Structure 1
């Protein structure tokens, strides 16, 4: 009979990549074989940026489109300043903007407020795309829109961006 006591052998511990959780309105940068994860993406957007040459990857979980008229505060909360903060952090770890590639997920319309104009989810997605374009970072894949939540992981060693949706199988972008 096998007994599970929560401990792992040294070889099992070495084979598991470090898992780094990124909360709402947060960003993190990783190198080597770490895996960046976030969940709870409804209207929020998860932006993963990877530079293959340097092996540096980063993930930001943004809530709102722009930080206009906001003094100070949390840059990661907004699509425009969150992407900028992530790019700066990636560059500080040795990534080159020329080598950066992005993938995004989220931006759902969880609640229908269509009579009040575009949803927060679609405005978030539009702002992320606009900010990535301003930084000349190509957007290689996206899983946005719909009316369902998502969680995702970004594998720092490969740049694989795996999206798990509430109503579909996992998708790798």
Structure 2
């Protein structure tokens, strides 16, 4: 059996990618959220590593603005636009959502940025009629994920709490 060689990519905060080329995409999440989108029909995969729920300025979400991938709301919309340009329909997509940890103790009366990121990701996917097939959100631990763009598979490792031995 011949296996197809995959390229490797480490996704940094604020980055996203859409690919039909088999790629293993790795990223490490704390309060950030990663959303993967996969179309089984044509084996297109997309992933973002977003840092904040939404931008304050709609101009920041324009196609030309380099910071668009930094925001959950903008990054998901941009991935959907790129997939649509390749003929992928929203009803074909399988979404998986990871991260959104509230890793630092703070004011218990305010929701942390991790919770806000997770909530925004689920809200945008619902609004855009994209089915979420898997989620691993919240908590106090970071996560490392590996996304296979050509199969939609995501491998997850929960990281130790800071201070753990």
Tell me the CA shift for residue 80 of structure 1: 0.7
Structure 2 gaps, min length 5? 161-165
Higher relative contact order (CA 8 A, sep 6+): 2
Q: How far does the alpha carbon of each residue in 1:59-82 deviate from its partner, in whole angstroms, 9 at most, with x for none?
A: 000000111236324111111111
* Distance in 2 between residues matched to 1:145 and 1:56, nearest whole Å: 27
Q: Which has the larger radius of gyration?
A: 1
Q: Is the 8 A contact 2:45 2:152 kept in 1?
A: yes
1:76 equivalent in structure 2: 69
The equivalent position to 1:123 in structure 2, one of 100, 106, 116, is 116
Tell me the CA shift for residue 145 of structure 1: 1.0
Structure 1 gaps, min length 5? 1-11, 168-173
Runs of 4+ residues over 4 Å off in structure 1: none
Tell me the CA shift for residue 92 of structure 1: 2.2
Report matched runs for 1:2-81 at 5 Å: 15-39=4-28, 41-69=29-57, 71-72=59-60, 73=65, 74-81=67-74
Structure 1 residues 145 and 158, CA, compared in 2 at 3 Å: closer, same or farther? Answer: same
Tell me the CA shift for residue 123 of structure 1: 0.6
- Aligned pair count reads 155
Q: Is the 8 A contact 2:34 2:97 kept in 1?
A: yes
Tell me the CA shift for residue 165 of structure 1: 1.3
Q: Is the 8 A contact 2:35 2:96 kept in 1?
A: yes
Q: Is the 8 A contact 2:91 2:131 kept in 1?
A: no
Tell me the CA shift for residue 50 of structure 1: 0.4
Taking only aligned residues, the RMSD between alpha carbons, in angstroms, comes to 2.0
